[in-house]
Amino acid sequence: MDTAPRSAVVVNPVKVPDLGELRRIITEALAAAGWPEPMWRETTVEDPGAGQAARAVRDGAEVVFVCGGDGTVMACVSALAGTDVALAVLPAGTGNLLAANLGLGGDLATGIEVALQGGRRRIDVGCVGEQSFAVMAGMGFDAQMLDATSETAKKHVGWLAYVAGAVRHLRDRPMRVRISLDGGPAFTRRPRTVIVGNVGRLQGGMRLLSAAEPDDGLLDVAVLSPRTLRHWLALAWGVLRRREAVARMETFTASTVEIRSNRPQPRQLDGDLIEPGDELRVTVRPRALLLCVPRPANDPDLAHDAGAVSRDADEIRDVTRA
């Protein structure tokens, strides 16, 4: 870039223990790289991030840093999809599904440095009505698990809190659904959950959809149908071992997925609950979202080696501690 890009920070104040410190770290890191001071936008209960991100675009931001949980990131994805404004994820909260799938971990300095280095990648986004998601949508057990997991537990034990939420619903009755892929004939299943993914990793690093690619123009679908605790254990073991065929799990790919249940079911997008419903219709927008990602070591324009992000993140920590 010939000139330093303008940027904005969309932050969920509930997820950040010290807003003043966060602002200082980001502002000083950007200043050290020659970037102008970022615009600052805090989310509210009424607007979890979409409005703030859209305003940042209107105000000329070229990079939007998002610091919050999965709901904040998802709201910003909805606002930035279809634009040339890059999304930079600064992990906060507990889930951070998109950050985990990008390999960014939970480190603020690393997230900043990734954006500063200029690595960019366009990925697909999934759409459910007016909302967009970058990781996955789900109907059934996965949303029940999220609903049963308390914020207090997540703060104290992190992603392991979801395990307790899952245990509460292991023996619930299955759904009865009809699934149609790309407008084809519907088929009937009695699953515990149906997950539609753009990328494959779940909470805790478990890779459910091993073939999912975020920029292939397709959605990956997993239909999970365990009936007993033994079935659940076999399914989990197969996923952990990354077997091609996993007991009690069917996988498909499509660009449009329609799931209809005989009764309303809990639903989620990118780890954030949405209104329960008896239908989940998901479409894909190919390469609609521009993401800040680590630049590859073989990038001819990259003046850093494979350890550059880590070392430069250390420099950011040193600057902001001074």
CATH topology of domain 7-119+293-321: Rossmann fold (3.40.50)
- Token readout for 100 is 């985990």
Q: What pLDDT does residue 162 have?
A: 62
For residues 163 and 169, give the distance between their C-alpha atoms in angstroms, rounded to a whole number: 10
Predicted TM-score of the model (pTM): 0.86
- d(C-alpha 219, C-alpha 285), whole Å: 10
**Is 131-285 in CATH node 1.25.40.90?**
no
The encoded tokens of residue 14 equal 């509930």
- pLDDT tens sequence for the chain (322 residues): 457 899 999 999 998 989 999 999 999 999 999 999 999 999 999 999 999 999 999 999 999 999 998 889 999 999 999 999 999 999 776 657 787 777 665 678 889 999 999 999 999 999 999 999 999 999 999 999 888 776 666 666 665 666 666 777 777 889 999 999 999 999 999 999 999 999 887 766 678 898 899 999 999 999 999 999 899 999 988 888 877 789 999 999 999 999 999 999 999 999 889 999 999 999 999 999 999 998 775 544 433 343 445 555 555 555 445 5
Backbone angles phi, psi at 227, to 5 degrees: -115, -30
Q: What is the pLDDT of residue 195?
A: 97
**Predicted local confidence at residue 306, as pLDDT:** 38
Question: What is the CB neighbour count within 10 angstroms for residue 181?
Answer: 17
Nearest to 113 by CA among 322, 319, 318, 308: 308
Between the CA atoms of 114, 116, 121 and 122, what dihedral angle is there, to the nearest 10 degrees?
120
The residues, ordered by sequence, that sit 6+ positions from 54 with a Cβ below 8 Å of its Cβ are: 79
pLDDT for 1: 45
Amino acid at 181: L
Within 8 A by CB and 6+ apart from 140, the residues are 175, 191, 192, 193, 194, 265, 266
**What pLDDT does 305 receive?**
41
Sorted by where each begins, the domain ranges of the chain are 7-119+293-321, 131-285
